[in-house]
A and B are shown apart, each in its own frame.
Chain A
C-alpha cells in the first residue's frame, strides 16, 4: 500500500503533503491524490520521523508472562516507535549470538517495529567475563549496543576493557550507573522523603560516582559511552562537563524521571518503584534543562513490564520498573514541548535521530526527505487522553501514569512505508521481509 499524508506539519513546522511509495518517501510538497494511494488526512497533525527507543525490556525469551516481543513491539508501534533496542537481561541472557539472533528474528516475524537486540557486556550479566561481543556484532542481529542494564558494570578494569574492546566493532557500552555498595538494599531516592518513610536510601552519589569514573575511562581509551536513564542533577552536571571536555559520551533520560518525584513513594504503591528511583523536583528540572541544552541526548523509555503479582504486594517485595512505550511521547510533549523547552524538531532529534545514531541503526531516525525510508509518526498534539493501563498493548499494567490526563496522541505509525498504526489503533504488521 502507498500512502499520501495530506497537510501534515512536518516537524511541527511547514505544512506539506508527503507521498509514501514502496517504503520510501517519494515526494514532498503539494501533491494530488491518485487512485492507487490511501489518503491520510493529517490536518493539524505533526509529522515526525519514527521514534527509536534506546532502552526497552521486551522480556522474551524467559519472561513471556511479563511481555513478549510481539506485545512489546505492538506497544512500541502504538507509542509512535519504529525501532526499539531490546535490553539483554532476558532469560537466558542475551550474551551470545544465538539469543540476540532469536530476539532479532522474533521482532522480524512480529513486524511492528525494527527490534534491535542489545548484547550483554558480561557473560550472564555477572560482571566477571566479557561476553562474545564480536560474535553478536557480526550476527544477523548486528548488535552495536552492549549493556548489562539492571546491573552496573562495576569492576573498573572490566569496564575499561569493555569500552576498549567494542571499538573494534563500532559498538557502544550503555552503562547502568549504580555503585552497588552504596545501594545495598536501597528502595528509593535517599533524601527527605526516605528519611520520613524509613526506606533504605539510594543516594544520588551512587549514580554520579560511576558516571564520573566512566566518562574518564571513555576519555582515556577513546571509546564511545552511553549513560542509561540519567536521574540526578549531579549526573547532568558531570555529563555536561564531560561533553565540554570532548569526551564521546551520550546520555538518556526516561519519561518518568521527567515528571514524577519521590513524593509519589509516600503512597507506598509499588507502581512507583523503579531503578533508578524517582528523585527530587530539582532533579526533574535539571533533566529537563539537560535535554533542552543538549547535555542529555535522548529519551529512553526503560519500558519495564511486570506481571501484576510483582506489583500487587508490599513495596519491599515488589519488582522495580514501569511501562513506558505507550506514554513516552505524551510525557515528552507535556514536560518539554508544552513547557516551551523544546520544539517538535528537537523532539525528533531526541526521540529518533540521535537514538538511531547511538545504536547505529542506519535506516531509522532519518530526515523527512525524498528518498529516505518512510519510518514516520503522526501525532495529534491537541488531543488529550486518560491513561488506562488495562487497554494498553503491553502486557504490563504497571504504568505510573494511570489515571492521568496527558496531551498528545499518536495517530499513525509507518514502518518502512507500512502502516502499523492507523487512527490510533494497531493496523497490520509489516509483512516479513528478507
Chain B
C-alpha cells in the first residue's frame, strides 16, 4: 500500500489486514503506557485545508502513539490564505522533512492529485476530500461494526469481514464523503448496503452504485438492519431547497424517539452509528445517540486504532 486515498482501492485482504492490525493497536491503547516505538524518528504532517478538530486530533493521537513526530498545518493563518498553491505548500512540507502527509482538503481529488503528481514523493493519507471520500472513517466504522458483532457472538474478529451484514446509511448522501467510502468498503467486506435519503440528497448517478436506494427510513428499519449509520445533515441545506426545513427532514429521515422505540419493540439488535459531529434533534435524537445501541464514542476510540494501523502500514514498510 503506497497511499490511502479511497476505500475503492483496497482489496478485501488489505482491508482485513488493516482492521486486524488496528485490533492490536486498540489493545495497546488499553495499557498503562500506550506508546509504541514503531514510527520513532518519522514525521507525519497533518495538512488540513478545512476546519476539523475530531479527525485531526485522532490522526495526531495515532501518530504520537506510534512515536512519530507530528506537525499540524492548518490553512487558517498559514500562507494558504495568502494564495499559496497546494503544490508549493506540499513541497515546503517535503523540504521541512515530512515522511507522510495526512491531508484534508475541500476539493474532491486533491489527495489523489498530490499522490499522482511529481510534486512530492511521500505516502498520502486522505483524511477527507470534498464530497469524495474519507477512507479512515469507513475503516473505523467497519472496525467498530466487526468488533461489535464479534463481541455479541463471542467470537474473535481477527481475519473476518462483514459478510451478510445489512447496513443502512441514512442522510445527506450527496455531500457525504463518509457514505462513499463506506459504500466501497462495506461491499468489499461482504455487507449489503442501503442508502436512505430524500431524493434531493442522493446524487444523480447513484442508481449505478452497488447498493439499494430507498427514500423511506421506516421501511428500511422494518426490513431488519444490523447497523444504521446516521449522517450529519446541515440545517443550512434547506436554503438550497434540498428539503423544506429541519423539522420536516427530521420527521421523515431522522432517527427520532419514535423510530428508536420501534427498534426496541422489534427486539432487533440494530446498532446506531454516527461519524460525528451530531446534530442532536435533527438526524438523531438524544435518546438514540445515548442509547445502548449507540457506538458513537466507541467509533471515536476505534478511530485512533485504525489510523495507527493505516500510518503503520504506509510508513513501516520502508523502515530500515
- Which residues of A pack against B, CB within 8 Å? 187, 190-201, 203, 267-269, 309, 312-317
Contacts and interface: CB of A to CB of B under 8 A. Distances in A.
B106 interface: yes
A191 B204 CA distance: 6
Contacts of B204: 190-191, 194-195, 201, 203
A222 B112 CA distance: 51
Given A192-B208, A269-B116, A309-B85, A314 B110 contact: yes
Interface size class of B (residues with CB under 8 A): 20 to 34
A267 B205 CA distance: 19
Contacts of A267: 116
Contacts of A192: 205, 208
Contact of A201 (B105, B113, B130, B203): B203
Contact of A198 (B86, B113, B131, B208): B131
Contact of A197 (B86, B108, B116, B209): B108
B110 A316 contact: yes
Contact of B113 (A194, A195, A315): A315
| CB-CB nearest 4 A-B residue pairs | A195-B205, A268-B109, A198-B132, A316-B107
A136 to B, nearest CB: 36
A317 B205 contact: no
Contacts of B8: 196
A401 to B, nearest CB: 19
Contacts, number: 80
A98 B117 CA distance: 43
Task: Point out which of A187, A191, A195, A199 has the most chain B C-beta atoms below 10 A from its C-beta.
Answer: A195
A199 B108 contact: yes
Contacts of B177: 198
B133 interface: yes
A198 B108 contact: yes
A192 B209 CA distance: 8
Contacts of B87: 312-313
A268 B105 CA distance: 14
A315 B109 contact: yes
B238 interface: no
A44 B74 CA distance: 62
Nearest to B106: A316
Contacts of A315: 107-110, 113
Contacts of B209: 195-196
Task: Point out which of B85, B177, B204 has the most chain A C-beta atoms below 10 A from its C-beta.
Answer: B204
Interface in B242-299: none
B108 A316 contact: yes
B206 interface: yes
B180 interface: yes
A197 B85 contact: no
A201 B108 CA distance: 12
A197 B107 CA distance: 11
Interface string B183-217: 00000000000000000000111101100000000
A314 B208 contact: no
Task: Point out which of A198, A199, A203, A267 has the most chain B C-beta atoms below 10 A from its C-beta.
Answer: A198
Contacts of B108: 187, 197-199, 268, 315-316
Contacts of B133: 198
Contacts of A314: 86, 105, 107, 109-110, 113-114
B241 to A, nearest CB: 11
Contact of A268 (B116, B180, B208): B116
A341 to B, nearest CB: 29
A374 B116 CA distance: 48
Interface string B62-81: 00000000000000000000
A199 B87 CA distance: 21
A191 B85 contact: no
B205 A193 contact: yes
Contacts of B206: 195
